[in-house]
């Protein structure tokens, strides 16, 4: 089992400075300016919402990721980065038990959510997915009206309250209300890609989650729509916790507080599995990482 605090202890600044050249004014391609705002933020006590320890996921017995241990805090944006196939989506799906729906997938180790074992037999996966929403790479609205897309989850769950208010609140939180309030009954497919993705985010918000998982939510969007989603994420952080998988290093640097870097490691038995290399504050990962593999990835030398 991996000690979830190991990465943080390994990474005490004095050790880094003893073993490495000083903080890089580096050539890291995300640029100092992107990270500037983070530097001045006072350190807040982190309240873990998920605690992962010794997590291993296999598909039909073949291990895809192993030895994953870190924690995800409330009101933070946590980025999962690393090369294709290192297990980012696999790990993300563990956090709302979506892997339960993948035939042959098994999850070992411990994932605590609010201090409770997420995989305990007493936990209802449907309730979990209501509390922990998910947004995918390609916007996937239902072929229904904007209104019905948002109302769908609350109706299925039998949520109490005025549906018009539930819909308006979710669309406001999704930064979409002003753009769509006059066409709520029109089909969601008439919206732009960026609007559709904000609709999908608003749809997850309608069931009152506390975590939103996003798997490369902007990779199908243009830069302006991407900027709107990033702004929205920063707003949503006030109220929710967000875990985002992204291939875009600038995006991870711009929006996330903490970053976990994964890689694909060649095991002794010849198999390749995903492993976490390091987990730390985003600023550290991008300017003064502990591990040379992280540095090579964030500077674009590999990956
Ligand atoms: N549904 C699945 N069935 C079998 N193998 C899978 C499945 N999903 C992912 N994998 C395998 O697990 C590993 C990690 O994949 P994935 O989590 O998609 O990585 P990433 O999101 O980092 O690109 C890969 O080797 C991939 O082939
Ligand atoms: Mg993926």
pLDDT tens column, 132-187: 999 999 999 999 999 999 999 999 989 999 999 999 999 999 999 999 999 999 99
Answer yes or no: are the C-beta atoms of 71 and 281 closer than 8 Å. no
The whole-angstrom separation of Cα 215 and Cα 301 is 24
Question: For residues 5 and 87, which has the higher predicted lDDT (pLDDT)?
Answer: 87
pTM: 0.88
Closest ligand 1 atom to residue 272 Cα is: 25
So what's the pLDDT on residue 235? 96
Q: In the prediction, which pLDDT does 5 show?
A: 44
- Could you tell me the distance, in angstroms and rounded to a whole number, from the CA of residue 80 to the centre of ligand 2? 10
pLDDT of residue 42: 59
Q: Quote the mean pLDDT of the chain.
A: 89
Higher pLDDT, 7 or 231: 231
- 20 pLDDT band (50/70/90 cuts)? very low
Boundaries of every domain in the chain: 6-298
Instruction: Specify the long-range contacts of residues 180-184, CB closer than 8 Å, at least 24 apart.
Output: 180/146, 183/146, 184/145, 184/146, 184/147
- Classify 167 as helix, strand or coil: helix
Residue 206 pLDDT: 96
Q: What is the DSSP letter of 1?
A: -
Query: Are 184 and 213 contacting, i.e. CB atoms less than 8 angstroms apart?
Result: no
What does the H/E/C string look like for 15-83?
HHHHHCCCCCCCCCCCHHHHHHHHHCCCCCCCCEEEEEEEEEEEECCEEEEEEECCEEECCCEEEEECC
Tell me the pLDDT band of 8, cut-offs 50, 70 and 90. Answer: very low
Residue 6 has pLDDT above 50, yes or no: no
Range with the poorest average pLDDT among 51-60, 102-111, 159-168, 293-302: 293-302
- Which of 90, 215, 271, 272 to mutate to test ligand 1, by most ligand atoms within 8 A of the CB atom? 90
Residue 241: pLDDT band (50, 70, 90) is very high
- Its CATH class, for the domain covering 6-298, is alpha beta
Choice between 20 and 244, residue whose per-residue pLDDT is larger: 244
Atom of ligand 1 nearest to the CA of 91: 17
């Amino acid at each position: 089992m991996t000690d979830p605090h190991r990465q943080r202890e390994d990474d005490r600044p004095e050790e880094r400075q003893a073993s490495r050249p000083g903080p890089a004014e580096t050539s890291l391609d995300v640029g100092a300016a992107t990270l500037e705002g983070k530097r001045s933020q006072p350190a807040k006590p982190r309240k873990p919402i998920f605690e992962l320890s010794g997590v291993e996921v296999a598909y039909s017995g073949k291990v895809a990721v192993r030895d994953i241990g870190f924690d995800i805090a409330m009101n933070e944006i946590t980025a999962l980065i690393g090369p294709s196939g290192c297990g980012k989506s696999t790990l993300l799906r563990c956090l709302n038990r979506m892997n339960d729906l993948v035939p042959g997938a098994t999850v070992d180790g411990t994932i605590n959510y609010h201090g409770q074992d997420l995989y305990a037999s007493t936990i209802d996966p449907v309730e979990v997915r209501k509390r922990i929403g998910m947004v995918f790479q390609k916007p996937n609205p239902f072929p229904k009206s904007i209104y019905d897309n948002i109302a769908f989850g609350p109706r299925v769950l039998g949520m109490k309250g005025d549906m018009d208010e539930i819909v308006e609140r979710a669309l406001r939180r999704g930064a979409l209300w002003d753009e769509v309030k006059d066409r709520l009954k029109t089909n969601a497919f008439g919206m732009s890609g960026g609007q559709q993705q904000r609709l999908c985010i608003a749809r997850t918000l309608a069931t009152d989650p506390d975590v939103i998982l996003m798997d490369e939510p902007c990779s199908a969007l243009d830069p302006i729509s991407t900027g709107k989603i990033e702004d929205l994420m920063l707003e949503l952080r006030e109220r929710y916790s967000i875990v985002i998988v992204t291939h875009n290093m600038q995006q991870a640097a711009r929006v996330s507080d903490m970053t976990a870097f994964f890689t694909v490691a060649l095991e002794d038995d010849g198999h390749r599995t995903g492993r976490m290399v390091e987990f730390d504050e985003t600023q550290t990962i991008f300017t003064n990482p502990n591990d040379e593999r992280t540095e090579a990835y964030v500077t674009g030398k590999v990956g």
